[in-house]
Structure 1
Amino acid sequence: MDKQLQFSGLWAVILGGSSGFGFAAIEKLAKHGMNIAVLYRETSAAEKILKEKFAALTEQYSIKILSHNINALDQVSRAQFIEEFSTQADKHSVKLLLHSIARGNLKPLTIPGATVEDEAYNELSIEDIQLTTYAMSNSLLDWTKAILKAELFHEDGRIIGLTSEGAHKYWEGYAAVSIAKASLESLAKYMAVEFSVYGLKTNVIQAGVTETASLKKIPGSEKLIKAGIKRNPLGRITKPEDVAGVIYLLCTDESFWINGSIIHVDGGEHCR
Structure 2
Amino acid sequence: MGTAKNISKPFALILGGSKGLGLATAKKLAAEKYPLIILHRDLAIDLEQVEIAFEEIREIAPAFYSFQTDALNPLRRKEQIEKIKTLLGSSGRVGVVIHSIAKGNLKRMLPEGSEKSLSAEDLRITADAMAFSLYQWVQELNLAGTLASDTRVIAFTSEGSSRVLPSYGAVGVAKAALQALVRQMAVEFAPVGIKVNCIQAGVTLTDSFHKIPGSDKLAAYSLKRNPNNRLTQPEDVANATYLLCRPEASWITGNILIADGGEHLI
1:1-272 maps to which residues of 2 (within 5 A)? 8-59=8-59, 61-90=60-89, 91=91, 93-111=93-111, 120-272=114-266
Structure 2 length as normaliser, TM-score? 0.94
Q: Distance in 1 between matches of 2:12 and 2:180?
A: 23
Deviation at 1:45, TM superposition (A): 3.6
Q: Distance in 2 between matches of 1:209 and 1:56?
A: 26
Percent of aligned positions with the same letter in both sequences? 41
Q: Distance in 2 between matches of 1:7 and 1:270?
A: 39
Pairs aligned (count) = 261
Q: One-letter code of the match for 2:86?
A: T
Q: 1:87 aligns to what SS in structure 2?
A: helix
Deviation at 1:57, TM superposition (A): 2.1
Q: Distance in 1 between matches of 2:7 and 2:258?
A: 25
Residues 117-174 of structure 1: CA distance to partner in whole angstroms, max 9, x if unpaired?
A: xxx2410000000000000000101000111011111111101111100111111100
Q: One-letter code of the match for 2:125?
A: L
Residues 77-109 of structure 1: CA distance to partner in whole angstroms, max 9, x if unpaired?
A: 101111111111144621111110000100011
**Unaligned regions of 5+ residues in structure 2, if any?**
none
Q: 1:195 to 1:21 in 2, by over 3 A?
A: same
Query: What is the aligned-residue RMSD (CA, Å)?
Result: 1.7
**Unaligned regions of 5+ residues in structure 1, if any?**
115-119
Instruction: Confirm or deny: 8 A CA contact 2:7 2:62 kept in the other structure.
Output: no
Instruction: Confirm or deny: 8 A CA contact 1:98 1:159 kept in the other structure.
Output: yes
Q: 1:121 to 1:223 in 2, by over 3 A?
A: closer
Q: 1:99 to 1:62 in 2, by over 3 A?
A: closer
Q: One-letter code of the match for 2:16?
A: G
Instruction: Confirm or deny: 8 A CA contact 1:92 1:151 kept in the other structure.
Output: no
Deviation at 1:66, TM superposition (A): 1.1
Moved over 4 A (4+): none
